[in-house]
């Protein structure tokens, strides 16, 4: 399960070499990871013209970050709500072509790359259409809304030799990169269990206080196209905003939040496939308004070959995002402060408990002999914990910048979360939902590329 070759990317090697001065006992401050975004400028031939599809809550931020990169110019934006045409121009800072029809961006030969930040039920079609139109594409997570979509997206990327990156920055966070390096180096032995969790406890965190923009109506929104392949229903402004809670458009807390936890651990543990089994449970306890369908508490146990992954996700109590990797030679914990490794050598340092049930003379003789036999060979003290901290809190590799660099160099190998990776993470999310809704174990049928439930 654990991939032992960490030399895949130059910058990972640089990151490990930079694990430098130990300023406090057993605390190691890491240098910032090198990042493609640090380039001050790019050659004219390396300039990329981008088209933005979906300029909503996430798309607005991605657009801002994208054009902050040297050599990236947004020349057109597409959204189904006209208000977001205004927003796109505000962000870009000049008039650009704005349309409700993304095919116009794909038909524009001057556009090199597409960024797709539409709701989940639109990801697949836009990625496939973009690849077929010869565009490289950065598409938001979760990669898919349905299992079958992922394989069509991979095929379209391969057939057209397109660069595809999926937008979960967790893949390139410093913690997932450093954890991967430590695990692959054997720092905690064989990892057999991973536990990850996160929690929120506000209506905002559960998307429930998100309100439709004033004046939103079918006059300024193409509602029928927004529905896509979902059942046709009359205009519903709540669904337009809070689509994450409904099965026809979103993937619930699994595809929205759990996917980041899974993406990080898939990278750190070197996982290359979907889980073969998932069992999930939970419920919709608090945020029941407007017919929301997905649970607000969702816990999952996944089985991968030789590895169990336990996910705790709740919108009913705020908790720090955390990850624990349980290895045969130690515990690796990722928390607010950084990464802590608590090594375990698996040795007995004293005679233990069982002889407490011997009569005194027998017990004392046993313990004396125990020490005589073993003390000389035991290390003087137990291994101590080591803490890794990043001086620039939270800083990782530049996920978007890696996409731009991959496009410029035509080198998809520098991308961590490519379409295959993104698909594996998304399948795990779909398995969590399949298990929850079927109230049964979800099994991945790799041959049929389908999830089976009872």
Ligand X SMILES: NC(=O)c1ccc[n+]([C@@H]2O[C@H](COP(=O)([O-])OP(=O)(O)OC[C@H]3O[C@@H](n4cnc5c(N)ncnc54)[C@H](O)[C@@H]3O)[C@@H](O)[C@H]2O)c1
Q: Contact between 59 and ligand X (CB under 6 A)?
A: yes
Binding mask 79-98 for ligand X (x = CB under 6 A): xxx--x--------------
Q: Contact between 256 and ligand X (CB under 6 A)?
A: yes
Q: Closest approach of Cβ 61 to ligand X, in Å?
A: 8
Q: Report the residue number, 121 or 343, with the smaller CB distance to ligand X.
A: 121
Report the site for ligand X in 129-188 (rule: CB under 6 A). Answer: 140-141, 167-168
Q: Contact between 117 and ligand X (CB under 6 A)?
A: yes
Residues whose CB is less than 8 angstroms from the CB of residue 284 and which lie 6 or more positions away in sequence, other chains included: 292, 293, 294, 295, 296
Q: Closest approach of Cβ 386 to ligand X, in Å?
A: 30
Count CB atoms within 10 A of the CB of residue 362: 11
CA distance 337 to 24: 14
Q: Report the residue number, 287 or 388, with the smaller CB distance to ligand X.
A: 287
CA distance 172 to 395: 9
Q: Report the residue number, 211 or 365, with the smaller CB distance to ligand X.
A: 211
**290 is written with which tokens?**
């407007």
Determine contact, residues 50/115, Cβ cutoff 8 Å. yes
Q: Contact between 120 and ligand X (CB under 6 A)?
A: yes
Among 12, 63, 102, 436, the residue binding ligand X under the rule CB under 6 A is 102
Q: Contact between 53 and ligand X (CB under 6 A)?
A: yes
**30 is written with which tokens?**
């890491």
Residue 330 burial class via C-beta count within 10 angstroms: exposed 0-12, middle 13-18, buried 19 and up: buried
CA distance 57 to 84: 10
Q: Closest approach of Cβ 16 to ligand X, in Å?
A: 26
Q: Report the residue number, 47 or 101, with the smaller CB distance to ligand X.
A: 101
What is the dihedral sign for C-alpha 99, 103, 105, 108? negative
H/E segment holding residue 24? none
CA distance 108 to 112: 9
Taking CA atoms, 316 is separated from 144, 210, 220, 258, in Å, by 26, 17, 36, 15
Q: Closest approach of Cβ 144 to ligand X, in Å?
A: 10
Q: Report the residue number, 58 or 308, with the smaller CB distance to ligand X.
A: 58
Determine contact, residues 194/310, Cβ cutoff 8 Å. yes
Among 69, 118, 129, 419, the residue binding ligand X under the rule CB under 6 A is 118
Beta-ladder partners of 193: 308, 326
First to last CA, the chain: 28
Q: Contact between 229 and ligand X (CB under 6 A)?
A: no
Q: Contact between 388 and ligand X (CB under 6 A)?
A: no
Residues whose CB is less than 8 angstroms from the CB of residue 35 and which lie 6 or more positions away in sequence, other chains included: 11, 397, 398, 401
Per CB under 6 A, which region of 73-81, 314-322, 337-345, 419-427 contacts ligand X?
73-81
Q: Contact between 225 and ligand X (CB under 6 A)?
A: yes
Q: Report the residue number, 118 or 124, with the smaller CB distance to ligand X.
A: 118
Reported in sequence order, the residue ranges of 255-329 that DSSP labels E, i.e. its strands, are 277-283, 297-304, 307-314, 319-327
Count of residues that bind ligand X according to CB under 6 A? 25
Per CB under 6 A, which region of 4-12, 24-32, 57-65, 445-453 contacts ligand X?
57-65
Q: Contact between 119 and ligand X (CB under 6 A)?
A: yes
Q: Contact between 54 and ligand X (CB under 6 A)?
A: yes
Q: Report the residue number, 30 or 76, with the smaller CB distance to ligand X.
A: 76
Residues in contact with ligand X by CB under 6 A are: 53-59, 78-81, 84, 102, 117-120, 122, 140-141, 167-168, 225-226, 256
């Amino acid at each position: 399960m654990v991939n032992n070759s960490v030399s895949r990317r130059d910058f990972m090697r640089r990151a490990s070499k930079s694990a430098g001065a130990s300023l406090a006992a057993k605390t190691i401050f890491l240098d910032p990871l090198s990042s493609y975004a640090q380039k001050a400028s790019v050659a004219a031939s390396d300039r990329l013209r981008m088209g933005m599809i979906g300029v909503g809550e996430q798309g607005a931020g991605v657009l801002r970050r994208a054009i902050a990169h040297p050599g990236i110019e947004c020349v057109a934006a597409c959204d189904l709500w006209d208000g977001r045409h205004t927003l796109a121009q505000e962000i870009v800072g000049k008039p650009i072509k704005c349309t409700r029809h993304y095919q116009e961006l794909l038909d524009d030969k001057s556009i090199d790359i597409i960024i797709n930040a539409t709701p989940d039920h639109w990801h697949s079609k836009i990625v496939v259409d973009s690849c077929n139109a010869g565009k490289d594409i950065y598409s938001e997570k979760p990669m898919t809304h349905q299992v079958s979509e992922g394989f069509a997206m991979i095929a379209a990327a391969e057939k057209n030799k397109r660069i595809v990156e999926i937008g979960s920055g967790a893949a390139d966070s410093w913690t997932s990169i450093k954890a991967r390096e430590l695990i692959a180096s054997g720092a905690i032995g064989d990892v057999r269990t991973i536990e990850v969790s996160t929690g929120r406890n506000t209506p905002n965190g559960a998307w429930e206080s998100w309100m439709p923009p004033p004046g939103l109506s079918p006059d300024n929104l193409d509602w029928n196209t927004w529905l896509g392949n979902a059942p046709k229903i009359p205009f519903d402004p709540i669904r337009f905003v809070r689509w994450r809670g409904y099965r026809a458009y979103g993937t619930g807390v699994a595809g929205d939040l759990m996917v980041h936890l899974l993406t990080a651990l898939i990278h750190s543990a070197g996982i290359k496939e979907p889980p073969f089994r998932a069992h999930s449970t939970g419920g919709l306890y608090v945020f029941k308004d407007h017919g929301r369908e997905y649970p607000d508490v969702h816990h999952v146990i996944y089985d991968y070959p030789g590895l169990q992954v336990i996910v705790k996700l709740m919108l009913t109590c705020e908790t720090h995002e955390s990850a624990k990797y349980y290895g045969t030679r130690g515990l690796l914990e990722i928390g607010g402060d950084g990464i802590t490794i608590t090594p375990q050598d698996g040795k007995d340092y004293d005679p233990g408990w069982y002889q407490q049930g011997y009569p005194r003379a027998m017990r004392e003789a046993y313990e004396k002999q125990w020490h005589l036999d073993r003390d000389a060979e035991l290390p003087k003290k137990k291994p101590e914990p080591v803490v890794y901290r990043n001086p620039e809190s939270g800083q990782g590799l530049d996920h978007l910048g890696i996409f731009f660099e991959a496009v410029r160099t035509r080198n998809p190998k520098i991308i961590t979360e490519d379409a295959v990776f993104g698909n594996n993470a998304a399948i795990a999310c779909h398995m969590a939902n399949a298990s929850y809704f079927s109230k049964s174990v979800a099994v991945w049928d790799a041959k049929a590329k389908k999830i089976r439930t009872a």
